[in-house]
Amino acid sequence: MMKNAIVYAAWRSVLVALCALIFTCVPVTAEFRTLVNKEGKKIRTELISKQDGKVTFRLRSGARKTYTVDISSLSKADQEFLQDWQPDGGGEVGGDDAGDDDSGADDVDDGVSDGPKSLYPKTKQEIRSTVREILKTKDRSGEFREEQKATNMLNVYRYLCGVPHKVKMDSKLNGHCEEAAMACLKKGGLSHDLGHYTNKCNLSSMGDVEASVAQYINDAGANNRERRGHRRWCLNPPMDKTGFGSGGSQYSAMWAMDGAGDGSRVKTWSYPGAGYFPKEYMHGTAWSFYMKGKVPPKDKIEISIFKLRKSPEKKISSNAEVEGRDIGVKYVFAYGNTINFEPKDFEAGDRGVYWVRITGGGLREGYVVEFF
């Protein structure tokens, strides 16, 4: 009881400090994560180090003060994540400059060799390093505004899903998006029929533009289940520029209608992306597969997802027996260049190696997704 009281007191002090802070924009120098304790309380953090079953972090607001809590006091998903997480540069914590070393030190080797390049296009270290670099990108004026943070987050998802990830933030489009968000605020609801560029944007009920990107990628809700159109626009290969705008504490918009870039080299892509995929970027239970051309009707498509015992050493042919457990697929919808599907036995945050097989209507696709 005494230990639980101490843990609760530590967590309470973090929450009190969070409420008292004035938020400022700071460059990303470590890994950001929303931690959840066993009581369900959430806090947005910048992870710094872990040692002896404890994790040390700062508040994501940019405050210099650090906090340390028992990893065992956190949710199961956070405990699993922190089991594999390695801090940059060995995770040493010193004075006020701790965690601000930008020398480019790479991740600690996790002792597991990466899979074959044909199935795993990016190594784990490449993913960790590239995600950090994307999240540190500033706008042309050297600022690190919320709109740029949101653009960076969009580029992270694009990178992980295998499409060009150098989408640029456009100030003019930011203005259009703010106009769209304010139109929704005035109406008191979301609609693409309000004028004010609402028909050109992804729209969100939250005012936090950076957090809205994960909401678009998740694309939850019964009205989004078939098409997952917000996700589809976020991962559109030829997107070259975007904008974000907020209505304040409620409503925000992301410019979606841009195709000025070159996405011609991308033949297929997916969410979650093929190969290694950080499980903290998997939201919900809906998966998507995209291709350059039109997909067959859903009644022609057969999808199987197998949870493998180990990472595959080579591609599994479409008619080969798979050494793994078929976790089932409970929902499929196909339109345009998109197939959306939902595994039966899968939850966001699950670890494991999955083989996706899509056949029928001329398709013979297979790829691995390994969450880490």
Condensed to tens digits (0 to 9), the pLDDT of residues 239-273 reads 999 999 999 999 999 999 999 999 999 999 999 99
Do residues 149 and 239 both lie within one domain?
Answer: yes
Can you give the C-alpha Rg of the chain in angstroms?
21
Mean pLDDT of the chain: 86
Residue pair 308/330 in contact (Cβ under 8 Å)? The answer is: no
21 located within any domain: no
Across the range 117-141, mean pLDDT stands at 95
pLDDT score, position 16: 44
**For 319-342, what is each residue's pLDDT tens digit?**
999 999 999 999 999 999 999 999
Retrieve residue 287's tokens: 């998966």
| Average pLDDT, integer, range 140-157 | 95
Q: In this structure, are 251 and 138 located in the same domain?
A: yes
Count of beta carbons in the 10 Å neighbourhood of residue 87: 21
**Residue 98 located in a structural domain:** no
Average pLDDT over residues 306-321: 95
Q: What mean pLDDT comes out for the span 63-79?
A: 87
pLDDT more than 90, % of the chain: 69
Are 44 and 128 found together in one domain? Answer: no
Q: Could you tell me if residue 119 is inside a domain?
A: no
CA atoms of 279 and 350, how far apart (whole Å): 7
Last residue of a domain, one of 198, 221, 255: 255
Determine the pLDDT at residue 12: 53
User: Could you tell me the sign of the dihedral formed by the alpha carbons of 175, 24, 50, 11, in that order?
Assistant: negative
Q: Which of 164, 182, 173, 247 is nearest to 209 (CA)?
A: 247
| pLDDT for residue 170 is more than 60 | yes
pLDDT in tens, 183-219: 999 999 999 999 999 999 999 999 999 999 999 999 9
pLDDT reported for residue 138: 95
Q: Are residues 218 and 296 in the same domain?
A: no
Q: Is a pLDDT exceeding 70 seen at residue 134?
A: yes
pLDDT at 261: 96
Instruction: Tell me the pLDDT band of 311, cut-offs 50, 70 and 90.
Output: very high
Please check the confidence at residue 359 and state whether its pLDDT lies above 80.
yes
Mean pLDDT across 271-294: 97
| Segment among 59-68, 100-109, 228-237, 292-301 with least mean pLDDT | 100-109
Has residue 115 got a pLDDT over 80? Answer: no
- State whether 238 and 325 are in the same domain: no
* 134 and 247 fall within a common domain: yes
User: Residue 92 falls within a domain, yes or no?
Assistant: no
Per residue in 55-64, pLDDT (tens digit) is 998 887 666 7
Domain boundary among 255, 278, 295: 255
CATH of the domain at 241: 3.40.33.10
What CATH number is attached to the domain comprising 327? 2.60.40.1220
Q: Which residue has the higher pLDDT, 148 or 60?
A: 148
Domain that holds residue 322: 268-371
8 Å CB contact between 355 and 86: no
Pair 79, 129 in one domain: no
Mean pLDDT of 64-79: 88
10 pLDDT higher than 60: no
Q: Is residue 277 part of a domain?
A: yes
In the chain, the number of structural domains is 3
pLDDT at 301: 98
Distance CA 368, CA 350 (A): 15
Q: Quick one: pLDDT at residue 229?
A: 98
273 and 364 inside one domain: yes
- Ranked by mean pLDDT, the top range of 11-20, 42-51, 114-123, 304-313 is 304-313
Look at 218 and 84; give whichever has higher pLDDT.
218
What CATH code is carried by the domain that includes residue 68? 2.30.30.700
| pLDDT interval class at 236 (50, 70, 90) | very high
Buried b (16+ CB within 10 A) or exposed e, 33-42: bebebbeeee
Residue 21 CA neighbour count, 13 Å, CB half:
19
Residues with Cβ < 8 Å from 153, sequence gap 6 or more? Answer: 135, 210, 213, 214
